[in-house]
Amino acid sequence: MMKGYAGRVLEIDLGARTHRYVPLDEEIASLYIGGKGYGTRLLYDRTEPGIDPLGPDNPLIFATGPLNGSVAPQSNRFAVVCKSPLTGGIGNATCGGSFAYAMKRSGVDVIVVSGRAASPTRIEIDGKTDEITFLDAQDLWGKGTYETQQILGKKMKHAVVGPAGENRVLYAGIVSDERIAGRSGVGAVMGSKNLKAISLEGNRKLEMDDPDAFKAYTKTVRTLFAEHPHLGSSMKRFGTGGIVNTTNARNILPTRNFKYGHFDQAMDISGEYMEDHELKGVKSSCIHCPVTCGRQVEVEGKGVVKGPEYETLALMGSNLEIGDLKKVDEWNYLADDLGMDTISLGATLSFAMELGERGMLEVDVSFGDPAGVSELIRDIAHRHGVGDELANGTKRMSEKFGGTEFAMHVKGLEMSAYDPRGSYAQGVEYATTNRGGCHVQGASMYLESVGPLTINPQNLKLKADIPVVQQNLACAINSMVLCIFTSYGMIPAMIHNMDPSSFTHRMLSKAVENLGPLFRLSQSIKGKPMLWWEKWMTQITGTPMSAGHIQEIGGRIFNLERMYNLREGLGPEHDTLPDRMLYEPTFPGMTSGHPLDQLLPRYYRNRGWDAGGVPTPKTLEKLQVQV
């Protein structure tokens, strides 16, 4: 058995109420690692083209990777893969908490849930005895994710859906602890299977190739993280909300349905403000994570609960022109409890507000006014009234009511909170990422517009290179499965602590900006493991892993996702940005929007795709992508 893996896949047929354990496919594991990569391979191989994402033929795949179950910082996330009901293409999401750790200790790498239960059902997996129990969940149906987990108790770890998933809201997520696998509508797929919860426990140990080296090195990494200006300091103090004032100052904070990039009240919804006025505690709800980016705030009538993260602060704050943090706290709690992705929810609400303002939709919410928003969020989750329309997301709403030019989605997935008009590489990433308009499938913005480097985010240099490297890296990270925040540690403390206007800093940024193809070349070298995830993978699995290996595997996963999308009819014509991003300038002197038309052909070339955006046979062969 491969080291670092439990060695088993659990296949569950909900319709037949049967299960079986099968050996992990070692060839897939060696080519795709685990997590998202393994899940994507299974999805591609096991499904016919054109299946209904909300039908019984769409498998819901929960997958861990070799780093899960270990004590490596930021290593306890699981991936969920299925066909997305929101985009019709590849769907995936990852989630922190403690479920991944427990899943691995229950002796399972991957759980494939297929079919559909006849009535609301939940599943318990006892990893000590390998006993699987199908239980009636009628009494839990309709309950929120927090109450559901409370009823299920603390003995096991749970992955559950709320009313949004049950009612097939197309951006429903799967909640575990206080975390959510939010994107792509994975919760709607779980709800469509009448599956309310998966609970599991176990006490099996992870077998490593070199446990002593792993233990010693992990201690070093913990120290590195503790001393890192972002992971060890600002993330701890301000959570991810510490980025609000930065994106606002860079004019890329979504405001009024992405009409603008600057919000006058941004400071009132920032992580710094939260720390000073509302913070009730700092919490790492992800097991073994020293970063503790989680916030705790108080919501009236609910007590101390998880606070909003950056994406929620932006999409449900500035993007709705709401500068009242208490309101965002409340909506964040509500969305988590109902089981909805706050990025898609916030963007859909702002789209509805703009439609309403233009007289294209009758809706009782408007920009800058919190009245009616809580009620509408509940209506979305329960598909009541106009909420039933919003439950389908911006793409479908724009097809029905108009406004495609200001419907802020890519491929059907609502865009995250970094305006690409001030972050060109991020724009290319949004346009090309296989699951749609998302930021954590590469996080290019960290290198160009919010992190410590000061490269120019508004020229063409490197903007078609950064996304390739970052998307590949993210594919690998989501397959190990690590948190994408781990990649923020790549830029050493020394650079963070430099004066950005100093000669050295400016020269460094200039040098990086002008590296061009060297940037990608430097990532293709299969040498010794250098970064922590490469070393951990080597120590745990015994297979040497370096930046070159990571890029190759990540590229393989990305191209397989691409081939899946092409198979499902989500072609290169969907590699685009909303018209508002392409044609409406937000910076003085800017005559248009994001220059995607100039960057996309370069991106395709860098990927080894033809001019039409299709991976060439040579590229697929080189990466060993079998389709």
Sites for another protein among residues 11-50 (CB under 8 A): none
- Rule CB under 8 A: say whether 452 interacts with another protein: yes
- Rule CB under 8 A: say whether 309 interacts with another protein: yes
Other beta carbons within 10 angstroms of residue 17's beta carbon come to: 15
Structural contact between residues 250 and 420, judged by C-beta atoms closer than 8 angstroms? no
- Rule CB under 8 A: say whether 500 interacts with another protein: yes
Question: What's the CA gap between 79 and 71, in Å, rounded?
Answer: 18
Q: Which H/E stretch holds residue 10?
A: strand 8-13
Structural contact between residues 321 and 367, judged by C-beta atoms closer than 8 angstroms? yes
Structural contact between residues 543 and 371, judged by C-beta atoms closer than 8 angstroms? no
Cβ closest to another protein, residue 39 vs residue 451: 451
Cβ closest to another protein, residue 445 vs residue 577: 445
Q: 619 is written with which tokens? A: 């590229």
Dihedral of alpha carbons 358, 362, 365, 371, sign: positive
Residue from 19, 143, 168, 250 binding another protein (CB under 8 A): 250
- Rule CB under 8 A: say whether 246 interacts with another protein: yes
Cβ closest to another protein, residue 39 vs residue 261: 261
Q: 44 is written with which tokens? A: 């591609």
Cβ closest to another protein, residue 296 vs residue 586: 586
Cβ closest to another protein, residue 31 vs residue 253: 253
Rounded alpha-carbon distances, angstroms, from residue 20 to 9, 10, 204: 8, 6, 19
Other beta carbons within 10 angstroms of residue 128's beta carbon come to: 12
Q: Which H/E stretch holds residue 90?
A: strand 90-95
Cβ closest to another protein, residue 498 vs residue 627: 498
Question: What's the CA gap between 219 and 204, in Å, rounded?
Answer: 23
- Rule CB under 8 A: say whether 447 interacts with another protein: no
- Rule CB under 8 A: say whether 272 interacts with another protein: yes
Task: Compute the least distance from the CB of residue 83 to another protein, in Å.
Answer: 25
- Rule CB under 8 A: say whether 258 interacts with another protein: no
Site size with another protein, rule: CB under 8 A: 54
Task: Compute the least distance from the CB of residue 374 to another protein, in Å.
Answer: 25
Residue from 176, 251, 392, 546 binding another protein (CB under 8 A): 251
- Rule CB under 8 A: say whether 450 interacts with another protein: yes
- Rule CB under 8 A: say whether 446 interacts with another protein: yes
R_g of the chain, CA atoms, integer Å: 22
- Rule CB under 8 A: say whether 509 interacts with another protein: yes
Residue from 199, 245, 433, 551 binding another protein (CB under 8 A): 245
- Rule CB under 8 A: say whether 587 interacts with another protein: yes
Question: What's the CA gap between 240 and 257, in Å, rounded?
Answer: 21
Task: Compute the least distance from the CB of residue 294 to another protein, in Å.
Answer: 12
Residue from 40, 114, 270, 426 binding another protein (CB under 8 A): 270
Task: Compute the least distance from the CB of residue 472 to another protein, in Å.
Answer: 18
- Report the greatest alpha carbon distance in the chain: 68
Sites for another protein among residues 126-145 (CB under 8 A): none
Q: Any idea what DSSP says for residue 260?
A: B
Task: Compute the least distance from the CB of residue 436 to another protein, in Å.
Answer: 16
In 463-513, where does DSSP find H-type helix?
Answer: 466-480, 493-496, 503-513
Beta bridge partners of 298: 304
Question: What's the CA gap between 473 and 485, in Å, rounded?
Answer: 12
Task: Compute the least distance from the CB of residue 347 to another protein, in Å.
Answer: 16
Task: Compute the least distance from the CB of residue 585 to another protein, in Å.
Answer: 11
- Rule CB under 8 A: say whether 456 interacts with another protein: yes
Q: Which H/E stretch holds residue 93?
A: strand 90-95
Q: Any idea what DSSP says for residue 33?
A: -
Q: Which residues bind another protein (CB under 8 A)?
A: 230-231, 234-235, 239-243, 245-246, 248-252, 261-262, 267, 270-273, 276, 293, 309-311, 416, 422, 439-440, 443, 446, 450-452, 454, 456, 458, 484-485, 488, 496-501, 506, 509, 586-588
